[in-house]
Amino acid sequence: MPPPERTLFDKVWDAHVVTPETAETPAVLYVDLHLVHEVTSPQAFSELDARGLKVRRPGRTYATLDHSTPTLPPDANGKRPYVTTQAEAQVTMLERNCAKHGIALAGWDSADRGIVHVMAPELGLTHPGAVVVCGDSHTATHGAFGALAFGIGTSEVAHVLASQCLLQRKPKAMRVTIEGRLREGVAAKDMALAVIATLGFGGGTGCVIEYAGEAVRALSMEERMTLCNMTIEAGARAGMVAPDATTIEYLRGRRHAPKHFAAAAEHWLALASDKGARFDKEISLDATAIAPMATWGTTPDASAPVGAPIPAPRNESEARALAYMGFKAGEPANAQPVDVVFIGSCTNGRISDLRAAANVLRGRRVKAGLRMLVAPGSEAVRREAEAEGLHRVFLDAGAEWRLPGCSMCIAMNGDTVAPGALAISTSNRNFEGRQGKGARTILASPATAAASAITGVLTDPRALLAETPHA
């Protein structure tokens, strides 16, 4: 009898099972790469100390500073402007713990430092077919490489540090097929929001989603990372894209790519769902029907094409969301003035995202009274952007150009939106208070955010891209 036909997810899962799952116990899953940052790791390292344990595989762990780090430079005395003493303590503790346990850290003096889900792929740490975990829900980003990547809790961080393994129940498999090609001016962020709107906030719960189809194959690796990054916002455990030539070329020559690259690439290209593999759930979308998207509520699934009327609330939750956002059913979300625009995050802080925003801003000015903040996703992105002169485009337009970090996405470092202010953000979550107490957030693509910064209201970027800006 031939072996059963398996999904990409099945193949990666099966290759990492140390102890199979039973009705009574989860499977024990081996972890290839454990990414660590300063916020979710202190308690985990304290747990190791309390039990007298060491990190099992320091070489399989990589750390960076991103969540609590200020994006403004040090003062004249070299002191960094941490928003709280706790934020500074988190950074100091990670530095000490990494030194104690022999873990590589992209710290303040490292040219590699950046948001964990931006800098790790840049360094070639993320490999197809790997299991990747991090104490951060947007670890799903790494699934763009055909890795099984998901966020874990603090106690699980300690477990992986101590054993290099993790207890997990196997999720179900879902396939989202997106055929056709995205139209000009429509981005991967718009595709992600369209998928989430189709699935609903919990539509992917209990599943690992494999993205397939012509539109997905046409995406660059950075665009695939944006798509997989947002998978968690539909409730899914992880998102994956099967490796192909685009994946191989992205990884070729990167510092942590396998030494025997040709053999590794051959193995990676075999990591595809078998033709007859069965998924527990399947949906299909037409990429040509996707327009620039923006959220109108307080969850990422509450989105619609830019300029479309806000739908009438279907339940108490949606009614509360509209009340919080100050929107009215039937009116478009661009009926209100925008106060803040943020470009950055692990969703849209890569060089291609900054280029897309700069392409809209070049030769134009941010609307008077509106604040625009741009935080590159890593030091590598910052260097490349400055080499291309993108920072000058932002500064000349009236935006703030910051150091790399999570910044206003999670508002843990002092980069916040004021109570009641309306922000358009290229980040991944628009929950109540996510960007600051009482802040209101609209999620959108870099191009949409940049266009909105110019007009002062939520704007379809295609309107500006079709114009010739004034010098």
Band (pLDDT 50/70/90 cuts) for residue 469 is low
Percent of the chain's residues with pLDDT above 70: 99
Residue 4's pLDDT band (boundaries 50, 70, 90)? confident
Give 225-254 pLDDT, tens digit per residue: 999 999 999 999 999 999 999 999 999 999
pLDDT tens track for 35-66: 999 999 999 999 999 999 999 999 999 999 99
Strands 61-64 and 104-106: parallel
Strands (E), 57-111: 61-64, 104-106
Residue 196 in contact with residue 47, Cβ under 8 Å? no
> How far is the C-alpha of 259 from the C-alpha of 106, rounded, in Å?
22
pLDDT at 3 over 70: no
Tokens matching residue 289: 């029907």
Q: How many degrees, rounded to 5, is the angle at CA 80 between CA 79 and CA 81?
A: 115
Check residue 422 and give its pLDDT.
98
pLDDT at 180 over 70: yes
The CATH code belonging to domain 8-168 is: 3.30.499.10
Mean pLDDT of the chain: 96
Going by pLDDT thresholds of 50, 70 and 90, the confidence category of residue 468 is low
Strand, coil or helix: 194: helix
Residues of the chain with CATH 3.40.1060.10: 172-289
Number of helices and strands in the chain (H, E): 17, 19
- Bridge pairing between strands 33-36 and 61-64: parallel
First to last CA, the chain: 70
CA distances from 274 to 13, 383, 443 (A): 15, 41, 35
Give the CB-side neighbour count of residue 288, counting CA atoms within 13 A: 3
What's the pLDDT at 52? Answer: 96
Of 132, 238, 248, nearest in space to 176 by CA: 238
CATH of domain 294-465: 3.30.499.10
Q: Hey, is 396 helix, strand or coil?
A: helix
172-289 architecture in CATH? 3-Layer(aba) Sandwich (3.40)
150: Cβ–Cβ under 8 A, 6 or more apart, which residues?
A: 132, 133, 139, 140, 237, 238
* Residues 79-93: tens digit of each pLDDT: 999 999 999 999 999
The average pLDDT across 157-175 equals 98
Cα 81 to chain center, whole Å?
25
Q: Where in the chain is the domain with CATH 3.30.499.10?
A: 8-168, 294-465
Cα distances (Å, whole numbers) of residue 208 to 94, 105, 147, 348: 31, 30, 11, 22
| Residue 427 clears pLDDT 60, i.e. is over it | yes
Distance of alpha carbon 378 from alpha carbon 235, whole angstroms: 27
Model confidence at 467, pLDDT cuts 50, 70, 90, reads confident
3-state secondary structure of 255: coil
**Cα–Cα dist 343/366, whole Å:** 13
Amino acid identity of residue 39, one-letter, is V
